[in-house]
Structure 1
Amino acid sequence: MPQEGRPVFRAVERSKVYSSVADQILAGVRSGAFPPGTPLPAERVLAERFEVGRGSVREAIRVLEHAGVLDVRVGSGTYVVGDGGSQERVLRARAAVAGEHSPLDLIVARAALEPVCAEHAASARNTNDLRVLEELVLEQERAVREGEDPSAADADFHLAVAAASHNSVLFALERTLVELMRERMWSELKDHSRSRGRRAERYLEHHRQVLRAVERRDHRRARQLMAVHMSEIETDLLTELGSSPDGAH
């Protein structure tokens, strides 16, 4: 316990400092202040400009390097990658600063896994699996019809498809992806995307088609339909990014 009369210290949160530095460097890359292929000012110079410690600058550079925005060359300097200002790289960097995963990276992972889940579900499903999938489609249908958020039923449907594969590894991987889909950046971007046009209705129809293919044990068709579904989600997310004022949410 602290002694009487002595101040109680709390740890200073550094994340806001380095995230602010990262955001300003990103803004410079996107505006052309730091053109592709050019070196950034030295770490010491950046620290002076931002009026922060060199450790915060170093952490910001590390995050942006991991996101593919910057290229740190030992003994030479830190350079802006050729397409470092692209929507995909900027979104990845902002997600990393927030301690999350890029929505575009997440959809790439889903596109790799979920068609396989659908294919195996069509071969391995049982009567109970079909009942669960049908109930989730009906719940999603109700939410869409009544103007409610269908994201929970939507995510549960994808998880149920993986469960119907009766492959514990596929199910564990899909469960991880569903957890990542609860992150703020994914949720906000997907909500904006779903609200445009009739995308919610289109996604629901995709689920109905996947369910019918699984019910018929048509494993090739189930895989194909899920792949199309993932492709359309990715296209819609990219469209949403392109329509936002700064290219990302």
Structure 2
Amino acid sequence: MPQEGRPVFRAVERSKVYSAVADQILAGVRSGAFPPGSPLPAERVLAERFEVGRGSVREAIRVLEHAGVLDVRVGSGTYVVGDGGSEENVLRARAAVAGEHSPLDLIVARASLEPVCAEHAATARTSNDLRVLEDLVLQQERVIREGGDPSTVDADFHLAVAAASHNSVLFALERTLVDLMRERMWSELKDRSRSRENQAEHYLEHHRQVFRAIERRDHRRARQLMAVHMSEIETGLLSELGSSQEEGPAERP
């Protein structure tokens, strides 16, 4: 219990400091205040300008380097990468600051795995697998018709396709990806993409087609259809990303 007259202190979240620094550097890169190939001010100078500790600046630079925005050259300084201000790199940096994974990195992983799951499901599925998949398609149709959020049943369908492959490693990998799809940045971007006119119905039709190919044991078609589905999800995410990144001009720190 705090003694009377003494202030109550709360721990300051360090992540909030370095994330604010990272956001300002990103804004400077995107606005052209830090052009491609140009050096950032020295760490000490940035710490003074931002009025933060050098540790926070160092952590912000580390995150932005990992995201492909900055290039730290030992003995030379820190430079803006040529395409460091691209939508993909900015999203990756913001996801890292938030402790999440970039939605675009997630779709790349899904596009690598899920067509393989569909291909193997078409050759290994059982009658029970087909019942589960068909029921999920019907559930998704009902949710969309009633104006609900189909994200959960959508993810369940993809997990069921992996389960139908009867390959425990594929299923474990898909389960990890489904868990990552619960992260805030993925959920928000995908929800905006799905809310576009007829987009939810369009994704539902993809699921119907994948199900039918699996039902017919057409493994080549199942793989192809799932690959098309992943490609169109990526296109939708990129479209939403382009429309949501509206930065005002940033002052040079």
TM class by smaller structure? over 0.9
Match of 2:105 in 1: 105
What is the rounded CA distance, in whole Å, between the counterparts of 1:188 and 1:238 in structure 2? 13
> Which letter does structure 2 place at the counterpart of 1:215?
E
Q: How does 1:48-67 map to 2 (within 5 A)?
A: 48-67=48-67
Matches of 2:190 and 2:3 in 1, distance apart?
A: 52
Alpha-carbon displacement from aligned partner over 1:52-91 (angstroms, at most 9, x marks no partner): 0000000000000000000000000000000000000000
Gaps of 5+ in 2: 248-253
What residue in structure 1 maps to residue 164 of structure 2?
164
1:77-92 matched pairs, under 5 angstroms: 77-92=77-92
- After superposition, the CA RMSD in angstroms is 1.4
Check 1:131–1:194 CA distance in 2 against 1; reply closer, same or farther (3 A cut): same
Tell me what 1:193 maps to.
193
Distance in 1 between residues matched to 2:48 and 2:199, nearest whole Å:
48
Shift of 1:144: 0.9
Q: Deviations over 1:112-143 (max 9, x none)?
A: 00000000000100011001001100000001
Q: Assess, with a 3 A threshold, how the Cα gap between structure 1 residues 84 and 12 changes in structure 2: closer, same or farther.
A: same
What is the aligned partner in structure 2 of residue 236 from structure 1?
Answer: 236
SS of 1:196's partner is coil
Q: Which residue of 1 aligns with 2:36?
A: 36
Distance across 2 between alignment mates of 1:90 and 1:7:
40
Specify every segment of 5 or more residues in structure 1 that has no aligned partner in the other structure, as ranges. Answer: none
Alignment match, 2:133: 133
Between the aligned partners of 1:49 and 1:123, the Cα distance in structure 2 is 61
Percent pairwise identity: 87
Q: Residue type matched to 1:145 in 2?
A: R
CA shift, 1:8, in A, is 6.8
Please say which of residues 220-229 and 236-245 is displaced more in the overlay: 236-245
Report the equivalent of 1:202.
202
For residues 3 and 164 of structure 1, what CA distance do their matches in structure 2 show?
58
- Tell me what 1:181 maps to: 181
1:143-171 deviations in Å (ceiling 9; x for gaps):
11111100111000000000000000000
1:12 deviates by 2.5
Shift of 1:243: 1.7
**1:68 — aligned with what?**
68
**1:16 alignment partner in structure 2:** 16
Between stretches 61-70 and 4-13, larger displacement belongs to: 4-13
For the structure 1 residues 90 and 3, does the alpha-carbon distance in structure 2 shift closer, same or farther, using more than 3 Å as the test?
closer
Q: Distance in 1 between matches of 2:100 and 2:91?
A: 10
AA aligned to 1:25 is I
SS at match of 2:71: strand
CA distance in structure 1 between the partners assigned to 2:113 and 2:49 by the alignment: 45
Say whether residues 1:152 and 2:152 are aligned partners.
Answer: yes
1:219 Cα deviation after fit = 0.4
**Structure 1: distance between partners of 2:236 and 2:245:** 16
Q: How far apart are the structure 1 equivalents of 2:46 and 2:108?
A: 34
What letter matches 1:102 in structure 2? Answer: S
Deviations 1:13-69 (A, max 9, x none): 100000000000000000000000000000000000000000000000000000000
